[in-house]
Amino acid sequence: MIEKIEIFFAGLSEMASGIPTLVMVPLIMILAAIGTAMIVCLLLGVVRLIFGQRAIDFIRKYTPVA
């Protein structure tokens, strides 16, 4: 199993070496933003499931928005 994971990441590194940095950096930034948004949405869903909508309202009330 570990060997398959190593082979997978070796293949990814070979593919990434062909992509110019000018394209790769914005792509990584976009993927990181999407991943962060997904994690936040999942966490808010779990909080809503456990504590109800009042907890979400409390979080949004005391969370500064940029």
Residue 15 lies in a domain: no
* Residue 43 lies inside a defined structural domain of this protein: yes
Question: Is residue 9 one of the residues assigned to a domain?
Answer: no
Which structural domain, as residue segments, surrounds residue 26? 20-66
Q: Is residue 31 one of the residues assigned to a domain?
A: yes
Other beta carbons less than 10 A from residue 48's beta carbon: 14
Whether residue 13 lies inside any domain: the answer is no
- 48 lies in some domain: yes
pTM for the structure as a whole: 0.55
Residue 51, H or E segment: helix 21-51
* Chain segment 23-49, per-residue pLDDT in tens: 878 888 999 999 999 999 999 889 888
Is the residue at 8 inside a domain? no
CA distances from residue 64 to 32, 58, 59, 60 in whole angstroms, order as listed: 21, 12, 10, 8
State the pLDDT confidence band at 1, using cuts at 50, 70 and 90.
confident
* Amino acid 29: pLDDT: 93
Structural domain count, the chain:
1
